[in-house]
Structure 1
Amino acid sequence: MSWLPNGKEAVLTWFGLNMLGAVYVPINTSYRGGLLEHVVALSDAKLIVVHSQLMPRLADVDRALLTDAIVVGGEATGIDGLTNHPADALQPDEEAEAEDPIEPWDSQYIIFTSGTTGPSKAVLSPYLQAYSMACDSYHFLTGDDRVLVNLPLFHVGGTIFVYVMLAHGGSVMIENSFRTDGFWELVRRNEITSTCLVGAMTPFLLKLPPSNRDRDHPMRSIVTIPWNEDSLALGKRYGIDMYTGFNMTEISSPIVSEANPAALGTAGKQRAGVECRVVDENDCEVAPGVVGELIVRTDRPWAMNSGYYKNPEATAKAWRNGWFHTGDGFKYDEDGNFFFVDRIKDAIRRRGENISSFEVESEVTQYPAVREAAAIPVPSEFNEDEVMVVVAPTPGEAIDAEALFRFLEPRMAHFMLPRYIRIVDDLPKTPTQKVQKVNLKADGITADTWDREKAGIKVKGERIA
């Protein structure tokens, strides 16, 4: 088990454990208490490589099978029942090797899901899963690239780009976090040619003041999720080929785009070696434009997860009928573009219309003062849902709820427009930074929530003669 921030020690731990034939289990550096206890017990790990600042948290939980700790970054905390070892145990040993040959179907690592609605699940990832992502999905990266990895290595978003460069013979620069200020100087100084931007990273970079050095950099490509107007604008401003895609811990980037796709909102097209379908609740394929669940299978065996460790029920449910069920709502068009709509459980139904919370959030976050947003359903007097958005402001900005609503009016279908707007400092998140909508739904309509109907604003659909 590896409990480390991004850095050299995290990479040495990953590949050192694999070289010995062990399974690498990175865990989130935000874990503590019950969640930490859950993943430690579920992993069956006996050894943990841990940063000294995190180690005291182990004293407060049941450590299950853990017996040994390699401590880096400072003095170790003494914990009864745990034997400490110095950081130099991480030094490479060229003569070390696995007791048994490592096969492509062996588990390379376990990465934990976010557990937004239940306990985190431990995803078993074979070596061929990472290899398939590296060699079949990110075709635009080569051995001449240097990728900036600032997404955490306990998340597949950070892990995969390290492996892409390993497979192609390129290089990576690993940072512990994304920082808007100084981003381009970091890129120039370290000759970065590619990176991945998720969520607010793209608009943050776009909001930097224009400079005569905007195109003075070595960056050639960026993977950005989601794909919207900001993605296109960033590419045009900085002269970069922009790509997008869809992935999750359990699969192997089955959907990727060409450079600078014209279809806003697309996740791309299915890549070679995979088959993607959008299906109804009976696993029957739906027509183009109809929302269903994305299911995936691959030509190459072991190119996706091999189940959830110690959770056969969840494994069987996800892998039914020979396809992996993503739990994500998608639609597709006649040109083969796939569009992420929402997590199945996050859909909102209002006045007979199915509304994508993802699409609502994409429009809301275009408002300059909004840093992040979550769209949720709240009960309506008509036995369906009303749309509520919970927003957090950009640092130094204030959000006026009615001004935000007026901004959205010309941009959204009338039935998607939020009735309720709630402003908070920060959205509640899981340790892997996914918004905990279940908490927001539990809060519901609070005393400080703005209600457009109480503000006297009526919304009606446009009549077409």
Structure 2
Amino acid sequence: MIGVLQPLTPMDWKRRAVKYYPNQIAVVDGKKRFTYREFGERVNRLSNALSALGIGKGDHVAVILPNIHEMLECFYGIPQLGAVIVPLNYRLQSEEFDYILNHSDSRVLIVDTEYLPAVEPILDRVPKLEHLILVGEGTTRVSHARYESLLQQVETTEPPVVDIDENDMLSLNYTSGTTSRPKGVMLTHRNNYINAANFLYHLRVQHDDVYLHTLPMFHANGWGGVWSLTAVGGTHVCLRKVDPEVIFQIFEEEKVSLLCGAPKVVSMLVQAAEGKNLSPVQRRMGTAGSPPPAAVIQQAQQILNLEMHHVYGLTEVSPFILYCEWPRKMERLSAEEQATVKARQGVELLFNGETTVMRQDNSGQEVEWNGQEIGEIVARGNVVMKGYYKQPEETAQAIRDGWFHTGDLAVIHPDGYVEILDRLKDIIISGGENISSTEVEGALYKHPAVLDVAVIGVPDETWGEVPKALVIPKPNIPVSEAELITFCRNRLAHYKAPKSVEFVDHLPRTATGKLQKFRLRERYWHEEAKNVR
């Protein structure tokens, strides 16, 4: 039979939601509310408006928007046209926008006027960019159209008829560039569908869920949440900026049941909640982006009554490939033991394919399940990217011998749970001993005076390099360098404890919460090879 099989694409979930939940609230954005019927019509208007501008299958449309309803509409209106969405980190600087807009070959840019000061100066240096579409009240002297006006000018609210292959690119997502120029990751309709299905299953997304978009939608397509809630007719609640006080208010007003965020966001919520009388309602929260300290997970569960779900992945794998599965037997553990297990990256998700930790001797063998032998996390299957855009050599380096190599060092515990020790580039080699910077950070987070911390290797004439901790202390809690070093020595092998502690006001992070350790190392390594790898 012809035409029975349909491509795996999250676009189909919008069709289903409009069909079965037309009057259900789909999107809440401040005082604005849209039903699934209204949301579907707006998405279709966007597709047809772009089509009228000459945009079609395979064309690239860049988007620089915060977590607002227009951003959510773009995740449907652009791909269902067969075009490719290029969601950009709105915190980038002008030169970074210049590089990505040119490298991505974007023909259209949809941008919130809040970000025009960084975007406007470089527009004349992006020759392939044909159309500028503004969202918001601001303006520019550069020729442009208004998002809302474009939608209202469209006569039809029917979806475009486009032949989409599930292996066509849906999104071009740029890596956070923690060590080098960001790379464009080509994710297909199939990649994103499978990842969003994992989001649905493992975070137990249901029809009655109200999901708060605390995670930037530009980051790995909101990990898939931009589509998963729509699949079951759940409600998307937009959040322009992460502000704990606003989040707590929305928790109560909108009856939020689910949210996601980097460990840094979890820590912010925990700190802001101290001393408050918050509702005892339990909510589910997914966290990923960097290894979460067990102490932060424990605090989130105790102070905020959050049921924490730890997932792991990278943009190149759509991004989920591990999930900290939580069987009922784990409930018998103490709160501290539960937090320690929940800080692990866990086991393969149901739909992503195969993930393991492989020995670094090029033997192609898995490490022993003993929690001791260190190897690199590798993956293959349904969520691995199509490749890096216009970078075949980098693609070949990342995907080799049938596996995607993550660059993350880890062990496998006897129960099969994977636990990251460090990035290959962040491991500290001191006197021949490997020291996990994240392990040392996890120990420091348990000290009541530590608000945020980064551990890096710094040069040492005797040992080659030794661990150094850069700590942001909590206000009004005195602490000394000696106290923190002793605190670590009482909990870790002595060679792992930091040899020095520096108190700082700020730690460089990407917009998704990842520490930019290469920036911290620059001060200490100068011309030496460890500087930026």
Q: TM-score range by the shorter chain?
A: 0.7 to 0.9
Structure having the higher helix fraction is: 2
The number of residue pairs the alignment matches comes to: 438
Q: 1:330 aligns with which of 410, 420, 445?
A: 410
Question: What residue identity is the alignment partner of 2:244?
Answer: T
Report what 1:255 is aligned to.
Answer: 322
2:17 alignment counterpart? none
Unaligned 5+ runs, structure 1: 447-465
Deviates most, 38-47 or 378-387? 378-387
Following superposition, the deviation at residue 126 of structure 1 comes to: 0.9
List aligned pairs for 1:89-100, cutoff 5 A. 89-90=150-151, 94-98=157-161, 100=162
Q: Which letter maps to 2:283?
A: R
Aligned pairs for 1:331-346 within 5 A: 331-346=411-426
The one of 135, 144, 159 equivalent to 1:72 is: 135
| TM-score normalised per structure 2 | 0.76
Q: Does 1:287 align with 2:368?
A: yes
**Structure 1 residue 31 and structure 2 residue 92: aligned?**
yes
Q: Please say if 1:6 is aligned against 2:6.
A: no
Q: 1:183: how far off?
A: 3.2
Q: Between the two proteins, what is the percent identity of the paired residues?
A: 29
Match of 1:209 in 2: 274
Q: Give per-residue Cα distances to partners, 1:90-134, cap 9 Å, x unaligned.
A: 458523415x31222111111110112211001111112221122
- Matched letter for residue 134 of structure 1: A
3-state SS of paired residue (1:54): helix
Structure 1-normalised TM-score?
0.87
Give the Å deviation of 1:168: 2.7
- Cα RMSD of the aligned pairs, angstroms, is 2.4
Match of 2:181 in 1: 119
The 5 Å alignment of 1:62-461 reads: 62-79=125-142, 82-85=143-146, 87-90=148-151, 94-98=157-161, 100-139=162-201, 140-156=204-220, 158-207=222-271, 208-210=273-275, 213-215=278-280, 217=281, 219-225=282-288, 226=292, 228-252=294-318, 253-259=320-326, 262=338, 263=341, 265-273=343-351, 274-281=353-360, 282=362, 283-288=364-369, 289=371, 290-298=373-381, 300=382, 303-394=383-474, 400-444=480-524
Indicate if the aligned counterparts of 2:293 and 2:445 stay in contact, CA closer than 8 A: no
Distance 1:398 1:123, change over 3 A: farther
Assess, with a 3 A threshold, how the Cα gap between structure 1 residues 399 and 237 changes in structure 2: closer, same or farther.
closer
Q: Residue by residue, what CA displacement relative to the aligned partner does 1:249-285 show, whole Å, maximum 9, x if unpaired?
A: 1114121123485425311211224211211331432
**Is this contact kept in 1: 2:297–2:342, CA < 8 A?**
no
| Residues 318-339 of structure 1: CA deviation (Å, up to 9, x unaligned) | 1111111111111111211010
Q: Which is further off, 166-175 or 417-426?
A: 166-175
What letter corresponds to residue 189 of structure 2 in structure 1? Y
Question: Equivalent residue for 2:106?
Answer: 45
1:36 aligned partner, one-letter code: F
Structure 1 residues 383 and 249: alpha-carbon distance in aligned structure 2, compared to 1, 3 A threshold = same
Preserved contact between residue 387 and residue 395 of structure 2 (Cα < 8 Å):
yes
Unaligned runs of 5+ in 2: 1-61, 331-337, 527-533
* Letter in structure 2 aligned against 1:279: M
Distance 2:197 2:147 in 1: 37
Name the CA shift for 1:233/1:434 in 2 (closer, same or farther; >3 Å): closer
C-alpha displacement of 1:220: 3.5
Question: How far apart are the structure 2 equivalents of 1:43 and 1:60?
Answer: 18
How much has 1:245 moved relative to structure 2?
A: 1.5
Rounded Cα–Cα distance in structure 1 between residues aligned with 2:146 and 2:270 = 46
Q: Tell me the CA shift for residue 48 of structure 1.
A: 0.5
The residue matched to 2:401 in structure 1 has which SS? helix
